[in-house]
Structure 1
Amino acid sequence: MKKGKKWLIAGLLAGSLVGLSSPSFAAFWNVTGDTGVHDPSIIKEGNSWYTFSTGQGIQVLKSDNGTQWYRVPQIFLTPPAWWKTYVPKQTTNDVWAPDIQEYNGRVWLYYSISSFGSNQSAIGLASASSIGAGQWRDDGLVLRTTTSDNYNAIDPNLVIDASGEPWLVFGSYWSGIKLTKIDKNTMKPTGSITSIAARPSNSGAIEGPSMVYRNGYYYLFASIDSCCKGVDSTYKIVYGRSKNITGPFVDKNGVDMLSGGGTILDTGNDKWKGPGGQDIYGTNIIARHAYDAEDNGNPKLLISDLNWDSSGWPKY
């Protein structure tokens, strides 16, 4: 991000992204308009781009070209009645860290409900034939955690493995990031839960997982340290990889992410503080939020090309 202006000029000369019909920026996309987001998930449908993000009823931004963004109606106008059954402290329509993915001819929207500092949480699911069509179906509870669990049911991300099978990666704080197999008919968990990343209790948070498969490896991206504090946020994005979707995920130094490993991808800069809540689209685009030091620390949308080095590690 520190080289955004240089990348922007290079992009204008270089043309569009390889293999994708998208804006002609080689790395840092010059997004404008309404870019206020937290924990964005990005997707393209037809000629339109969308981000789904934390906020009232799940906030949605749309772009007709990937650069100029505007707000469109939220997904839930009122909280579904079942939310309070699993998260009694859920007294508003505030929804966290949604994940939007297309799979098997349908669009799936995972999301989480919780309250700060509690792991009495739930992951829910909505779906539609397409984003443009709307008419979202409430598919109910996916999984839950209570105060007796040592992990937290928030920050879901749908992952499709090399065989085309769906998995759900999720989690935050407590004992870290988890993974579970998903039934392709119900799109809900089947089988056990596996731990794939954690940090020592005195080392801060790990959360917001996003996983992709590329050239024989599964890449796990996560946000570490502190979010939600404006310019005082210390969020940063880390990654590791594994030949197997269930791990072990190791960083560039060979350290297991279950033991606190994770190579840093993004720590922000003087303008953009605490980048995190990242989402990988395909394998070549990364969206995330960061806090704008020039606008009272408000969280905003950042999008970049995600490049890969000769050894198969991600980079900007």
Structure 2
Amino acid sequence: MGKSKTFSVLIFTLFITFSAGNPALASNWSLTGDTLIHDPSIIKEGNTWYTFGTGLVGENGIRVLRSENGNEWNKAPNVFPTSPSWWKDYIPYHESNQWAPDISYYNGRYWMYYSVSSFGSNTSLIGLLSTTSITSGQWRDDGLVIRSTTANNYNAIDGDLVIDKDGNPWLSFGSFWSGIKLTRLDENTMKPTGSIYSIASRPNNNGAVEAPNIIFRNGYYYLFVSFDNCCQGVNSTYKMAVGRSTSIAGPYYDKNGMNRMNGGGTIFDAGNDRWKGPGHSDILNNNIIVRHAYDALANGSPNLLINDLNWDSQGWPTY
């Protein structure tokens, strides 16, 4: 069951053009306008596309891009131009910009999970907004979803909603520390109602594993993660890996049969000469994938990449 999602930032506005062509047919979609973004999440409401991403450093809130055709993008007003006061009850010294929003449509509402934290800390929280119409710009503050402190062995950021094969909502999350976690959500409150499962880590907790994104297709749950070093422009070593499981709570295995809890993961995208450090993906309807990467032709500016997501004869994703 694919979920409906959104595009989930840093330095200055950049105008880029990829190879021309119809988005439905092109490998790299042809993008123009403002495509500056980190941690994109994508959704389509009616004929309008939205991307939500981590806010620019030094600004308030969550960055929003909008498009009428999926190709030409423009900046839209930020979400959270003013921070809710309750955040400081949990994170007294949080960043002014919020991180890694995730947007999905479920049970008649759009649900947006977002992260509040400070760099290098696991004193963090995932909060929730919802609305019946993104275009309205009217969001309901649904408050705290889950938090972490220095007493926890995980980091409550990078939340990602997944709907299982039976229609039940779950939330995956995590960055560094002991890796990627998963918890069942109440379908009315969209907040945790059960245990926290561990589903992916790095060997000996060495380095980042973060930005989980789970989809269900043809009997398998596919777990995409990003690992290594993000946010260093052309020096970023970020890359994406994937594994799959017949159960949403795992275990997840890569193509070679290695368990994701033992550091397994089949590389999906490690970048190229132009696009460095791709990662923090989001998938729409099991056939469109978005992520950010750093443009070597533009001083390492972080930008939105969109591709058609394809599937090979063994059921593994390609692009």
Question: What band does the TM-score fall into relative to the shorter chain?
Answer: over 0.9
Instruction: Give the TM-score normalised by structure 2.
Output: 0.91
d(CA) in 1 for partners of 2:49, 2:144: 27
Q: Which residue of 2 aligns with 1:284?
A: 287
Quick one: distance in 1 between partners of 2:259 and 2:103?
A: 28
Task: Name the aligned partner's letter for residue 53 of structure 2.
Answer: S
Q: Is the 8 A contact 1:32 1:67 kept in 2?
A: yes
Structure 2 residue identity aligned to 1:173: F
Equivalent in the alignment of 1:102: 105
Give the 3-state SS of the residue equivalent to 1:294 in structure 2.
helix
| Contact 1:175–1:198 (8 Å) recurs in 2 | yes
- In 1, Cα distance between equivalents of 2:272 and 2:204: 27
Distance 1:124 1:197 in 2: 22
Q: Residue type of the partner of 1:51?
A: T
Q: 2:268 aligns with which of 265, 270, 295?
A: 265
3-state DSSP of counterpart to 1:268: coil
**Are residues 1:312 and 2:315 paired?**
yes
Question: What is the aligned partner in structure 2 of residue 73 from structure 1?
Answer: 77
How many Å separate the matches in 1 of 2:188 and 2:302? 36
Output the amino acid matched with 2:42: I
Report the counterpart of residue 12 of structure 2 in structure 1: none
Within 5 Å, which residues of 2 pair with 1:138-287?
138-201=141-204, 203-287=206-290
Q: Deviations over 1:85-144 (max 9, x none)?
A: 111121x42100000000000000000011111100000000111111221011110000
Q: What is the Cα deviation at residue 32 of structure 1?
A: 1.0
The answer (yes or no) to whether the contact 1:287–1:302 under 8 Å persists in 2 is yes
Cα distance in 2, alignment partners of residues 8 and 27 from structure 1: 9
Q: C-alpha distance in 2, partners of 1:239/1:24? A: 23
Counterpart of 2:91 in structure 1: which amino acid?
A: V
Contact 1:57–1:79 (CA under 8 A) maintained in structure 2: yes
Aligned equivalents of 2:234, 2:283: Cα separation in 1: 24
* Deviation, structure 1 residue 206: 0.4
Q: Residues 8 and 27 of structure 1 are in contact (CA less than 8 Å); yes or no, is this contact kept in structure 2?
A: no
Q: Give me the whole-angstrom Cα distance separating, in 1, the residues matched to 2:30 and 2:297.
A: 16
1:115 to 113, 118, 141: 118
- Supply the RMSD in Å over aligned alpha carbons: 1.3
Deviation at 1:43, TM superposition (A): 0.6
Q: Spell out structure 1 runs of 4+ moving beyond 6 A.
A: none
In the TM superposition, residue 295 of structure 1 has moved relative to its aligned partner by: 1.0
Letter aligned with residue 67 of structure 2: S
Moved more, 129-138 or 119-128: 129-138
Match of 1:29 in 2: 29
**Alpha carbons 1:8, 1:25 under 8 Å: kept:** no
Give the Cα separation in 2 of the matches to 1:44 and 1:239. Answer: 25
Give the AA of the match of 1:43: I
Once residues 44 and 291 of structure 1 are traced to their aligned partners in structure 2, the CA distance between those partners, rounded to angstroms, is 25
Does structure 2 retain, via aligned residues, the 8 Å contact 1:236–1:264?
A: yes
Are residue 297 (structure 1) and residue 296 (structure 2) matched? no
